[in-house]
A = this chain, B = another copy of it.
Amino acid sequence: MRKIAVLCGGVGGARFAQALYASLPDASLNLIVNVGDDFEHLGLKICPDLDTVYYTLTGRNDEARGWGVAGESWHCLESLSALGAESWFQLGDWDLALHLARTEMIRKGARLTEVCAHLVQQSKLKCTLLPVTDDRLRTQIRSKGRVLDFQEYFVRERCAPVCDGVLFAGAETARMTPEVKSLLTGKGIDCLMIAPSNPYLSIAPMLAIPGIREALHNRQFPVIAISPLIGGQAVKGPLVKIMAERGMSPSPVGIAQEYAGLIDGFVCDIADQAKQEELEAMGVQAKFTETLMSKPGVKKTLAETALAFAQGLGAAEIKDPS
């Protein structure tokens, strides 16, 4: 298997991308990342999912906190607060540079895709980091008559509001980038993975872009999703809460419904093995393995299981082109 694409959200997507990167260091790894969480803050263009993936792959992420840079300092934020400026979004001093540099490149005319390519090159990463679109796409949470921008819901209000619905502002007119279109609609990739990210908040915004859902329906390659649930719990974030608010139990069956018709295989946690029959009745092949990627050794096994699964479903042989 020489060329893989992955649909990624933030932390779960980043850890899974890191696992694949470690398993296949010389393969062509193409990370297609959600931009629905992107926003402007103090004039800076901030791309939380792209940044989490970037910091994780470059080994600079703060594992414990789950976002941002390890060993971060907060002098600018402290000073912003003293000046009476908005300080609810945690901008670290090291992290700020990324937002300043990106915003400046975009102001000078670069596409977000080009900014990411520049970052990957500066860090000598051997993969591509691809925003799913260079156009404006904004995930919004509908809650009891209010519409909250994603970061207002996620950071400022800590996911407390009931989620009645998720909106993707700009999705109708957003286009997937030429780079993403070439991966998803061509015959160039051996498989597509859907990372263990939140299907409603991280993967759905990408699927809302015209042509992406169709590309997955008409796929020329196997698609493997990795479940973000472990025995009814999510590792991080409001997934279980959102499923409950939709009247769903937190089971991989609900996730598989969200991906109906789009995936060939589903990698679930061994804690959810009891759901195998139900999943297979939906026409989804399931594999069960440990998926808690913060546990030593699990990332490697998970990546290998997913890759072997893809191969079993028709992908080319899994190995580095060495």
Binding site for B on A (CB under 8 A): 42-44, 73, 75-80, 82-86, 93-98, 100-101, 103-104, 107, 118-119, 122
Contacts and interface: CB of A to CB of B under 8 A. Distances in A.
B84 A100 contact: no
Query: Copies of this chain, how many?
Result: 2
Given A43-B44, A85-B97, A93-B96, 17 more contacts: A42-B101, A43-B103, A43-B104, A73-B93, A75-B75, A76-B76, A76-B96, A79-B93, A79-B98, A80-B101, A82-B97, A82-B122, A84-B118, A84-B122, A85-B100, A86-B104, A96-B96
A23 B43 CA distance: 40
14 contacts: A43-B100, A43-B103, A43-B104, A73-B73, A75-B94, A76-B96, A77-B97, A79-B93, A80-B101, A83-B101, A84-B101, A84-B118, A85-B97, A85-B104
Contact of A107 (B43, B77, B78, B83): B43
Contacts of A42: 100-101, 103-104
Contacts of A96: 76, 79, 93, 96
A215 B98 CA distance: 47
Nearest to A69: B79
Contacts of A85: 97, 100-101, 104
A29 B136 CA distance: 48
Contacts of A73: 73, 75, 93
Given A43-B43, A122-B82, A76 B104 contact: no
Nearest to A79: B97
A118 B80 CA distance: 13
Contacts of A79: 93-98
Contacts of A101: 42, 80, 83-85
A239 to B, nearest CB: 32
A85 B76 CA distance: 19
Given A73-B73, A76-B93, A93-B75, A83 B98 contact: yes
